[in-house]
Amino acid sequence: MKRNHIFFLLFILAVLPFSTAGSVHAASSAAWVAEWDAQKGLEEIPAVQARSIVLFAAYFDSENKPFLSEAMQRMLKNTPRKNLAPDGDLYLSVVNDVFYSPNKSLQKDPSLITSLMATEKSRARHKADLLRLLASGPFDGLEIDYERVDPQAWAPLLDFAADLANQLAAQGKKLRFLLEPKKQYLQIPLTKGPEYVLMGYNLFGGHSGPGPKANAAFLRKLATESSAAAYRTGQKIGLALATGGFAWPTATGLQNRAAVVAVNEMSAAAWARGSQAALVRDPESRALHFVASDTAPGSPIPARNAKNSTYEIWYADGETLSYWIQIGQSAGFGNISLWRLGGNVRESLARFAEATK
């Protein structure tokens, strides 16, 4: 049985490039705008020229009901259709963050998804809640961004997504489904219906030492690991890439998760200029990196927190994004998504637009 199973997987891998050539989803691009950086993100929509814009995000209340925050409602009022591509789509992303009160929340709660997928009744209720939420705004589609899902709830969630995609399609709407880059979520065949997008970032970050968010080997590895899971879907899995980067303190006593600072491209570039640092481009990722003090001109670290400490900063610019897109597409990924708009250099957005035409 084991040999037959291995042979079957090898067969699927062999035929996959041909079976996805006629994908039901045309190659295109998408970009996220986060509610906490709405103004800057919305201003970058024309420059990125993405086919789809995803507004992030709807959350859950203490009753397991999805809702739109006040910030999201304000962002909706400031998102005119004229800013989108002529045939562009506007998506609402729903994430499994639970807000119990203004001062108490739980991010990426796996128990929430386990509860929602527990019974036929709970799944039906959740589907009705999502459809109701989607109908409350000018959305063309929904995005499911449920992370840290318990393995026992994963198969029910995939079936739920397929059913939801069919119901949305009947309404002329679409469903995107985000995948974490973890083997436990890529070992079960994906269901047909949603457009799947794999997170191709966080190779290095707050959980690790210094390095790029992605590199060529990482993206090719993800393509191999995800290809077998997609064979039933009739489409290529999309790839999500991330802008910006991180700054890591170099002092041993400061090397902890809390001390790692997220930086967008604009702030990283300003820090490099202000410190007159020598920029180095990593050959494996084409990401830029440099070393600078937190007290240097242009440092994004607030003066009250600066301790004249040295940081190693890695970030992506337009050349990095173009390279990642090239690697991803050559490895077999389909649509390209960008996390996220806000704090990006216009030249980098233009290069993303050119690479995803």
Task: Tell me the pLDDT of the chain (357 aa) as tens digits.
Answer: 444 444 434 434 443 443 333 333 335 899 999 999 999 999 999 999 999 999 999 999 999 999 999 999 999 998 878 788 888 999 999 999 999 998 999 999 999 999 999 999 999 999 999 999 999 999 999 999 999 999 999 999 999 999 999 999 999 999 999 999 999 999 999 999 999 999 999 999 999 999 999 999 999 999 999 999 998 899 999 999 999 999 999 986 665 677 899 999 999 999 999 999 999 999 999 999 999 999 999 999 998 888 899 999 999 999 999 999 999 999 999 999 999 999 999 999 999 999 999
Segment holding 34, helix H or strand E: strand 29-34
The candidate with the shortest Cα–Cα distance to 228, out of 4, 1, 17, is 17
Domain boundaries, the chain: 27-243+317-355, 247-316
Q: What confidence score (pLDDT) does residue 11 get? A: 39
3 state DSSP class of 197: strand
- Provide the Cα torsion 267, 273, 275, 277; round to 10°: 110
pLDDT at 27: 58
Q: What is the mean pLDDT of the chain?
A: 92
The C-alpha R_g of the chain, in whole angstroms, comes to 21
Sheet of 244-249: strands edge to edge? 261-263, 244-249, 310-316, 288-293, 280-281
- Six token digits for residue 239: 């790839």
Cα separation of 61 and 105, whole Å? Answer: 9
Cα 306 to Cα 167: distance, rounded to the nearest angstrom: 52
Q: Could you tell me which residues come within 8 angstroms of residue 49 by beta carbon, excluding any fewer than 6 positions away?
A: 29, 85, 353, 356
Q: Write down the pLDDT at residue 279.
A: 98
Instruction: State how beta strands 89-101 and 288-293 pair.
Output: unpaired
Rounded Cα–Cα distance for residues 33 and 19 (Å): 33
Is this structure's pTM higher than 0.85? yes
pLDDT value for 82: 78
Q: Could you tell me how far CA 303 lies from the centroid of its own chain?
A: 31
Separate counts of helices (H) and strands (E) for the chain: 12, 15
The pairing of strands 66-67 and 52-61 is: antiparallel
Structure tokens at 31: 């970009």
Helix H or strand E segment including 311: strand 310-316
In this predicted structure, what is the pLDDT of residue 86? 86
Q: What does the alpha-carbon distance between residue 126 and residue 117 come to, in Å, rounded to a whole number?
A: 8
Question: What CATH topology corresponds to 247-316?
Answer: Chitinase A; domain 3 (3.10.50)
Among 138, 48, 28, residue whose Cα is nearest residue 341: 48
Identity of the amino acid at 64? N
- Which phi-psi region, left, alpha or beta, contains residue 193 (left: φ > 0; alpha: ψ -120 to 50)? left
Fold of 27-243+317-355: TIM Barrel (3.20.20)
At residue 31's C-alpha, the angle toward residues 77 and 196, to 5°, is 115
Burial 154-173 (b: 16+ CB within 10 A, else e): bebbbebbbebbeebeeeeb
